[in-house]
Chain A
Amino acid sequence: MLHTKRWIPWLFVGPALILILFFLTYPTLMTIVRSFYGKGTQIFASTLDFVGLANWEFVFNSPAMLAALRNNALWTVVFTLCTVTFGLLLAVLLDRVRYEKIVKSIIFIPAAISMVGASVIWKFVFAYRPVNLSQIGVLNALMVAFGREPVGWLIERPWVNNLALIVVGIWIWTGFCMVIFSAAYKNIPRDLIEAARTDGANEWHIFWGVILPLMTKTIAVVATTMIVQVLKIFDIVFVMTNGAYDTEVIANRMYKEMFNFFNYGRASAIAVVLLLLITPIMIFNIRRFTRQEAR
């Protein structure tokens, strides 16, 4: 620690703290308050009605929001499972091939482009044309090549189109998981794995018995990061379907309440749902950090 005059630290942290307070703390509190007031786009206005829990009634009882909550649950489970599993699998498998570097770059590229760009890429993969026309989307061309009917990937509800959107998310985020797992994997002492091998353990046992236990912490961190990302998923859905055909998600519905229906009360309540869902992870992060600092 440096010894300084008492006001010096505030010179360094003050401006940033003011920005953080203005952009994150203050609005978070105000949004919670606003969720108990009625429609309209004002924040402070004597004309605003106090509506109590009416917005919350909408959040948990309207068909639109129930569909969004269901889809978010599907997103969370499938997306998190797949990104973490694929990321881990690739990290371990790629360590065993000589062309590791190039494949890693290829898998990681989607992390560098925007979700809007990725959505356009996949909209084209999913492109659908009637049976009598030649297919221009890769996926439907494959379907036809295997003698099947082309599928309206973004239209067929509720499983096909939601899973199609989730695939786009997985495609974007798997590389991120892979890179972190790979760094953690390469930190495992080679002797440990070699020792298990000379003891006659096969690769399968080594993975479950040696590698996985040593990586549980990293897996927890990556999984929580994925959950934080997936809960507020927005861009992909907004660009590809805008919630049509039962593909609505929480964040997209909030945007609609804000800018299409001008109902800041409902929009606030929806945002608070996102905050509540993320709160356990916030606590997990803070606890993880305090433990690290203590060490």
Chain B
Amino acid sequence: MRFKRFILRIPLHLIVLAFTAVWLVPTLGLLVTSFRSPENIFGSGWWTVFADLFNVDQYTFKNYMQVISKQGLGRSFCNSLTISVPATLISTFMGAMVAFGFAWMKFAGRKILFLLVIGLMVVPLQMTFIPILPIYRWLGLSGTFPGIWLAHTGYGLPLTTYLLYAFISRVPTELLESASIDGASPIKIFYGIVIPLSVPALASVFIFQFLWVWNDFLVALIYLGATPKVVPVTLTLANLVTNQGQNWELLTAAAFVSMALPLVVFLSLQRHFVRGIVAGAIKG
């Protein structure tokens, strides 16, 4: 009986294994290649390193040194941090404020404004660039960090509001009302009760938004593209693809540098990330 069950389950394992291979092999190839010298890369496929995996002579850090210093990826990495951290903090915090306002306060146009926010969540960003660019140039905001912080906040707010609304609207009514009767102001209630209770949701939204901004290419391309010294890693990497198209030792190392931080964040905080996504998609 157990043997029969085992045989019947072989196709199941094979399908799962096939998916795993397709999802793992491309990234593995990138990782291995980024540590090989150009001669080796073009001399033999990256999979040949497994024939002699522990022969350390075949690996090199040169590619990384070169992309980080000479190709300006080190600087872009810092730019990416300078862009993502404030942009994410602002949009998460403002999202919580708006969600609280919509969930717990009465005001004229509340319903229609909230539906507007929900609707705008899916507006293609392409619809916004043409009218904003001239204003940005006029205000001197294009090619600056404050300019991109604002843009990411404006674009991100509908989603952060929506995700946090799902959570904040479920804070127990008695808790807020009794505090209100005791004379706590809405601002006090927000800082003293809602924010502390929402920490798990805020963490999920922060991680979700942080990865989104870090990985963003389009918004940076439009508002920072013309100013090389402030561009994030995604842009520098894309420029490398255009200018160094066949130099795989540089491209693979640069790609890995651009992915390193999101990978660490993802692997260490996967649960929060997943919770944010699931909350937005199923519940809401």
A residues touching B (Cβ–Cβ < 8 Å)? Answer: 1-4, 6, 8-13, 15-17, 19-20, 22-28, 30-31, 34, 41-43, 86, 89-90, 93-94, 96-97, 103, 105-117, 119-125, 127, 134-136, 138, 141, 171, 174-176, 179-180, 183-184, 218, 221-222, 225, 228, 231-232, 234-235, 238-239, 251, 254-255, 258, 264, 267-268, 270-272, 274-275, 278, 281-282, 285-286, 289-290, 292
Name the CB-closest residue of A to B237: A116
Given contacts A2-B177, A116-B258, A117-B259, contact A138 B118 (CB under 8 A): no
Residues of B within 8 A of A234 (CB): 217-218
Is B251 touching A124 in the complex (CB atoms < 8 A)?
yes
B130 near A27 (CB under 8 angstroms)? yes
Q: Determine if B126 and A232 form an interchain contact, defined as CB atoms under 8 angstroms apart.
A: yes
15 contacts between A and B (CB under 8 A): A17-B113, A25-B120, A27-B132, A43-B130, A86-B19, A93-B16, A105-B270, A110-B23, A112-B262, A113-B258, A114-B234, A115-B215, A127-B248, A138-B26, A270-B126
In B8-30, which residues have CB < 8 Å from any A CB? 9, 12-13, 15-16, 19-20, 22-27, 29-30
Tell whether, in the assembled complex, residue A228 and residue B122 are in contact, meaning their CB atoms are under 8 Å apart: yes
Q: How many A-B residue pairs have CB under 8 A?
A: 292
A239 touching B241 by the CB < 8 A rule?
yes
Query: How far is it, in angstroms, between the C-alpha of A251 and the C-alpha of B155 when the chains are bound?
Result: 17
Could you list 20 further interchain pairs (A-B, Cβ under 8 angstroms) beyond the known A16-B95, A34-B130, A292-B284? A2-B177, A2-B180, A4-B105, A9-B110, A11-B101, A25-B120, A43-B131, A109-B27, A113-B259, A114-B216, A114-B217, A114-B237, A114-B258, A114-B259, A116-B258, A222-B281, A258-B130, A278-B122, A285-B121, A285-B122
Are B241 and A119 in contact, CB atoms less than 8 angstroms apart? yes
Q: Mark B23-47, 1 if CB is under 8 A from A, else 0.
A: 1111101100100000001111111
Q: Which residues of B contact A109 (CB under 8 A)?
A: 23, 27, 263, 266
Distance A234 CA – B220 CA, assembled complex (angstroms): 13
In whole Å, how far is A88's beta carbon from the nearest beta carbon of chain B? Answer: 13
Interface on chain A toward B: helix, strand, loop, or mixed SS?
helix
B97 touches A23 (CB 8 A): no
For B151, list chain A residues within 8 Å (CB).
23
By size class, the interface of chain B is: 35 or more
Of chain B, the residue at the smallest CB distance from A283 is: B119
Is the CB–CB distance between A179 and B118 below 8 Å?
no
Q: How far is the CB of A179 from chain B (nearest CB, A)?
A: 5
Contact B131 A34 (CB under 8 A): yes
A80 → B minimal CB distance (Å): 15
In angstroms, how far is the closest chain B Cβ from the Cβ of A145? Answer: 10
Per the bound structure, the CA–CA distance linking A130 and B211 in Å amounts to 38
Give which listed residue, B26, B133, B187, B277, contacts A122 with CB less than 8 A.
Answer: B26
Q: How far is the CB of B265 from chain A (nearest CB, A)?
A: 7
State which residues 21-80 of B face A: CB under 8 Å.
22-27, 29-30, 33, 41-47
B117 within 8 A of A: yes
Chain B residues within an 8 Å CB radius of A17: 98, 113
A31 B128 Cβ-Cβ under 8 A:
yes
Instruction: Say yes or no for B88: interface residue by CB 8 A criterion.
Output: no
Complex: A222 Cα to B282 Cα, angstroms: 9
CB pair B238 A23 closer than 8 Å: no
